[in-house]
Amino acid sequence: MNKQQSATDLTEKIDLATVLKAKNGSHLKLKNPLITASGTCGNGHELAKFFDLNQLGAFTTKGITLQAQPGNKTPRIAESAAGIINSIGLENPGVDQFIAKKLPETAQYNLPILANISGYQADDFVNIAIKLAEQKEISGLEVNLSCPNIKGGGMIFGTDPENVFQITRKIKQVYPGYIIVKLTPNITDITTTALAAEEAGADAVALINTLSAMKIDIEKQKPLLANTYGGLSGPAIKPIAVKMVYQSYQKLTIPIIGLGGICSGSDVIEFLLAGATAVGLGSINLREPAAALRILAEIKDYLKKHQLNKLSSLIGAAHQ
Amino acid sequence: MNKQQSATDLTEKIDLATVLKAKNGSHLKLKNPLITASGTCGNGHELAKFFDLNQLGAFTTKGITLQAQPGNKTPRIAESAAGIINSIGLENPGVDQFIAKKLPETAQYNLPILANISGYQADDFVNIAIKLAEQKEISGLEVNLSCPNIKGGGMIFGTDPENVFQITRKIKQVYPGYIIVKLTPNITDITTTALAAEEAGADAVALINTLSAMKIDIEKQKPLLANTYGGLSGPAIKPIAVKMVYQSYQKLTIPIIGLGGICSGSDVIEFLLAGATAVGLGSINLREPAAALRILAEIKDYLKKHQLNKLSSLIGAAHQ
Amino acid sequence: MFKIIANRLVGPKIYEIIIKADKLIEQPQPGQFFNLKVNKLKSKDPFLRRPFSVFDFNPVSQQLTFVYRVVGRGTEILSSFKVGDSLDLLGPLGKGFTLPENKKSLHLIGGGIGIAPLYYLARVLADQQQLSIYLGAETKTELNFFQQKFSELKCSIKLTAMAEKLDFKGTALQLWLKNLPANKADFIYVCGPEKMLLAVEKEALARNIDGELSVEKRMGCGIGICLSCSCQSVESPLTRKRACIEGPVFKLGEVELDE
Amino acid sequence: MFKIIANRLVGPKIYEIIIKADKLIEQPQPGQFFNLKVNKLKSKDPFLRRPFSVFDFNPVSQQLTFVYRVVGRGTEILSSFKVGDSLDLLGPLGKGFTLPENKKSLHLIGGGIGIAPLYYLARVLADQQQLSIYLGAETKTELNFFQQKFSELKCSIKLTAMAEKLDFKGTALQLWLKNLPANKADFIYVCGPEKMLLAVEKEALARNIDGELSVEKRMGCGIGICLSCSCQSVESPLTRKRACIEGPVFKLGEVELDE
Ligand SMILES: Cc1cc2nc3c(=O)[nH]c(=O)nc-3n(C[C@H](O)[C@H](O)[C@H](O)COP(=O)(O)OP(=O)(O)OC[C@H]3O[C@@H](n4cnc5c(N)ncnc54)[C@H](O)[C@@H]3O)c2cc1C
Ligand SMILES: Cc1cc2nc3c(=O)[nH]c(=O)nc-3n(C[C@H](O)[C@H](O)[C@H](O)COP(=O)(O)OP(=O)(O)OC[C@H]3O[C@@H](n4cnc5c(N)ncnc54)[C@H](O)[C@@H]3O)c2cc1C
Ligand SMILES: Cc1cc2nc3c(=O)[nH]c(=O)nc-3n(C[C@H](O)[C@H](O)[C@H](O)COP(=O)(O)O)c2cc1C
Ligand SMILES: Cc1cc2nc3c(=O)[nH]c(=O)nc-3n(C[C@H](O)[C@H](O)[C@H](O)COP(=O)(O)O)c2cc1C
Ligand code: FES
Ligand code: FES
Q: In whole angstroms, what is the distance from residue A209 CA to residue A257 CA?
A: 11
Query: Which CATH number fits the domain that encloses residue C114?
Result: 3.40.50.80
The pLDDT, as a whole number, for residue A1 is 39
Task: Flag whether C34 is in a domain.
Answer: yes
**Domain count of the fold of chain C:** 2
Domain end, chosen from D93, D118, D137, is at D93
**Across chain D, what does the average pLDDT equal?**
93
The pLDDT, as a whole number, for residue C42 is 72
**B21 labelled ligand-binding:** no
Average pLDDT over residues C31-52: 90
Cβ of A81 within 8 Å of Cβ of D45? The answer is yes
Q: Examine the pLDDT at C41 and tell me if it is beyond 80.
A: no
Dihedral sign, Cα of residue C49, residue C50, residue C53, residue C57: negative
The confidence band for D21, taking pLDDT boundaries of 50, 70 and 90, is: confident
- CB of C48 within 6 A of ligand 5: the answer is no
Q: Are residues C56 and C147 in the same domain?
A: no
The pLDDT, as a whole number, for residue D183 is 86
The pLDDT, as a whole number, for residue A6 is 43
User: Which residues make beta-bridge pairs with D108?
Assistant: D133, D189
The confidence band for D22, taking pLDDT boundaries of 50, 70 and 90, is: confident
Q: Are residues C62 and C150 in the same domain?
A: no
User: Which residues make beta-bridge pairs with B79?
Assistant: B84
Query: What number of other Cβ atoms are within 10 A of residue A37's Cβ?
Result: 24
Alpha helices (H) along chain D? 73-80, 116-125, 140-151, 172-179, 194-206
Q: Are residues C139 and C203 in the same domain?
A: yes
Task: Flag whether D16 is in a domain.
Answer: yes
Which amino acid, one-letter code, is at D159?
L
Which of D37, D71, D196 has most ligand 2 atoms within 8 Å of its beta carbon, as the pocket-test mutant?
D71
Q: Examine the pLDDT at B3 and tell me if it is beyond 50.
A: no
The pLDDT, as a whole number, for residue B9 is 46
Which of D36, D216, D242, D250 has most ligand 6 atoms within 8 Å of its beta carbon, as the pocket-test mutant?
D242
Q: In whole angstroms, what is the distance from residue C167 CA to residue C174 CA?
A: 11
Helical pair B161-174 and B122-133, crossing angle rounded to 10 deg: 30
Q: In whole angstroms, what is the distance from residue D232 CA to residue D242 CA?
A: 9
Ligand 4 centroid – CA B174 distance (Å): 26
The bound ligand whose nearest atom lies closest to the alpha carbon of A155 is 3
Q: Are B209 and B189 in contact (CB under 8 A)?
A: no
Cβ of C77 within 8 Å of Cβ of D39? The answer is no
Q: Using CA atoms of A151, A157, A158, A160 in order, give the dihedral in degrees to the nearest 10.
A: 130
- CB of C2 within 6 A of ligand 1: the answer is no
**D139 labelled ligand-binding:** no
Average pLDDT over residues A226-242: 97
Range of the domain at D63: 2-93
**B280 labelled ligand-binding:** no
Cβ of C227 within 8 Å of Cβ of B68? The answer is no
User: Residues D39-69: pLDDT tens digits?
Assistant: 876 788 999 999 999 999 999 999 999 999 9
The pLDDT, as a whole number, for residue C236 is 84
Domain end, chosen from C42, C67, C93, is at C93
Task: Flag whether C258 is in a domain.
Answer: no
Q: Are residues D48 and D70 in the same domain?
A: yes
**A210 labelled ligand-binding:** yes
Q: Are C109 and C192 in contact (CB under 8 A)?
A: yes
Burial of A83-103, coded b for 16+ CB within 10 Å and e otherwise, reads bbbbbbbbbbbbbeebbeebb
Q: Are residues D236 and D166 in the same domain?
A: yes
Q: Are residues C78 and C112 in the same domain?
A: no
Q: What residues contact D191, with CB distance under 8 A and at least 6 apart?
A: D53, D109, D110, D111, D114, D115, D116, D117, D118, D197, D213, D214
The pLDDT, as a whole number, for residue A11 is 45
The pLDDT, as a whole number, for residue A147 is 61
Q: Are residues C201 and C117 in the same domain?
A: yes
Give the residue among B206, B163, B204, B211 at the shortest CA–CA distance from B187.
B211
The pLDDT, as a whole number, for residue A5 is 41
Q: What residues contact A203, with CB distance under 8 A and at least 6 apart?
A: A20, A22, A24, A26, A27, A28, A140, A178, A179, A180, A254, A255
Q: In whole angstroms, what is the distance from residue D62 CA to residue D57 CA?
A: 7
Residues of chain C with C-beta less than 8 angstroms from the C-beta of A81: 44-45
Our CA-based measurement puts residue D43 at a distance from the nearest CA of chain B, in whole angstroms, of 8
Q: How far apart are the first and last CA of chain A?
A: 46
A103, A147, A181, A256: the catalytic one is A147
Average pLDDT over residues B32-60: 96
Chains touching chain B through at least 3 C-beta pairs below 8 angstroms are: A, C, D
User: Residues D152-193: pLDDT tens digits?
Assistant: 998 899 999 999 999 999 999 999 999 998 888 999 999 999
D44: contact with B, CB 8 A cutoff: yes
User: Is A147 one of the annotated active-site residues of the chain?
Assistant: yes
**B209 labelled ligand-binding:** yes
Ligand 3 centroid – CA B269 distance (Å): 29
Q: Are residues D228 and D159 in the same domain?
A: yes
Q: Which atom of ligand 5 is nearest to the CA of C227?
A: 3
The pLDDT, as a whole number, for residue B117 is 97
Burial of B114-153, coded b for 16+ CB within 10 Å and e otherwise, reads bbbbbbbebebbbbbbebbeebeebbbbbbbbbbbbbeeb
Q: Which residues line ligand 3 (CB under 6 A)?
A: A 37-40, 62-63, 84, 86, 88, 90, 116, 144, 147, 182, 209-210, 233-234, 237, 259-262, 282-283; D 220, 226
Query: What number of other Cβ atoms are within 10 A of residue A320's Cβ?
Result: 7
Cβ of B263 within 8 Å of Cβ of C245? The answer is no
The pLDDT, as a whole number, for residue B36 is 97
Task: Flag whether C74 is in a domain.
Answer: yes
The pLDDT, as a whole number, for residue D238 is 82
User: Residues A94-107: pLDDT tens digits?
Assistant: 999 999 999 999 99
| Structural domains of chain B ordered from first start | 18-71+89-212+233-314 (3.20.20.70)
**Across chain B, what does the average pLDDT equal?**
92
A82: contact with C, CB 8 A cutoff: yes
The confidence band for A155, taking pLDDT boundaries of 50, 70 and 90, is: low
The DSSP-derived string for D16-51 is EEEEEESS--PPPPTT-EEEE----TT--SS-S-EE
Cis, peptide link before residue D248, omega less than 30° from 0: yes
Cβ of A40 within 8 Å of Cβ of D226? The answer is yes
Our CA-based measurement puts residue D49 at a distance from the nearest CA of chain A, in whole angstroms, of 6
Give the residue among A283, A138, A134 at the shortest CA–CA distance from A211.
A283
Task: Flag whether C98 is in a domain.
Answer: no
Q: What residues contact B61, with CB distance under 8 A and at least 6 apart?
A: B38, B43, B98, B102, B106, B113, B114, B115, B116
User: Residues B167-203: pLDDT tens digits?
Assistant: 999 999 999 999 999 999 999 999 999 999 999 999 9
Window from A305-319, C97-111, C220-234 with minimum mean pLDDT: C97-111
Half-sphere exposure of B313 (CA within 13 A, CB side): 10
Q: Which of D41, D42, D44 should be substituted to probe chain B, the one whose Cβ sees the most B Cβ atoms within 10 Å? A: D44
The confidence band for B220, taking pLDDT boundaries of 50, 70 and 90, is: very high
Residue D236, judged by CB atoms within 10 A of its CB (0-12, 13-18, 19+), counts as exposed
User: Residues D103-159: pLDDT tens digits?
Assistant: 789 999 999 999 999 999 999 998 888 899 999 999 999 999 999 999 999 889 999
Q: In whole angstroms, what is the distance from residue C177 CA to residue B47 CA?
A: 44
Task: Flag whether D219 is in a domain.
Answer: yes
The confidence band for A31, taking pLDDT boundaries of 50, 70 and 90, is: very high
Degrees to nearest 5, angle at CA A274 with A269 and A276: 75
Query: Which CATH number fits the domain that encloses residue D41?
Result: 2.40.30.10
The pLDDT, as a whole number, for residue A148 is 54
Q: Are residues C180 and C132 in the same domain?
A: yes
User: Residues B269-313: pLDDT tens digits?
Assistant: 999 999 999 999 999 999 999 999 999 999 999 999 999 999 999
Task: Flag whether C259 is in a domain.
Answer: no
Model ipTM over 0.85: yes
The confidence band for B16, taking pLDDT boundaries of 50, 70 and 90, is: very high
Q: How far apart are the first and last CA of chain B?
A: 19
Residue A280, judged by CB atoms within 10 A of its CB (0-12, 13-18, 19+), counts as buried
Residue B51, judged by CB atoms within 10 A of its CB (0-12, 13-18, 19+), counts as middle
Domain end, chosen from D93, D116, D134, is at D93
Q: Are C75 and C205 in contact (CB under 8 A)?
A: no
Q: Which atom of ligand 5 is nearest to the CA of B42?
A: 3
Our CA-based measurement puts residue D88 at a distance from the nearest CA of chain A, in whole angstroms, of 10
Q: Are residues C237 and C127 in the same domain?
A: yes
Q: Are residues D87 and D123 in the same domain?
A: no
Give percent above pLDDT 70 in chain B. Answer: 93
Cβ of C43 within 8 Å of Cβ of D41? The answer is no
E strand spans, chain B: 18-21, 27-30, 34-36, 59-60, 77-80, 83-86, 113-117, 138-144, 178-182, 204-207, 211-213, 216-217, 222-223, 230-233, 256-259, 278-281
The pLDDT, as a whole number, for residue D126 is 85
Q: Which of C41, C42, C44 should be substituted to probe chain A, the one whose Cβ sees the most A Cβ atoms within 10 Å? A: C44
Q: Examine the pLDDT at B5 and tell me if it is beyond 50.
A: no
Cβ of B71 within 8 Å of Cβ of C47? The answer is no
Q: Examine the pLDDT at B10 and tell me if it is beyond 50.
A: no
The confidence band for D101, taking pLDDT boundaries of 50, 70 and 90, is: confident
Average pLDDT over residues B94-102: 96
Window from C41-50, C167-176, C207-216 with minimum mean pLDDT: C41-50
Q: What residues contact A139, with CB distance under 8 A and at least 6 apart?
A: A28, A58, A112, A113, A114, A177, A178
User: Residues A171-223: pLDDT tens digits?
Assistant: 999 999 999 999 999 999 999 999 999 999 999 999 999 999 999 999 999 99
Task: Flag whether C214 is in a domain.
Answer: yes
3-state secondary structure of C142: helix
The pLDDT, as a whole number, for residue A227 is 94
Q: Examine the pLDDT at A114 and tell me if it is beyond 60.
A: yes
Chains touching chain C through at least 3 C-beta pairs below 8 angstroms are: A, B, D
Q: Are residues C124 and C66 in the same domain?
A: no
Pair type for strands C89-93 and C33-36:
antiparallel
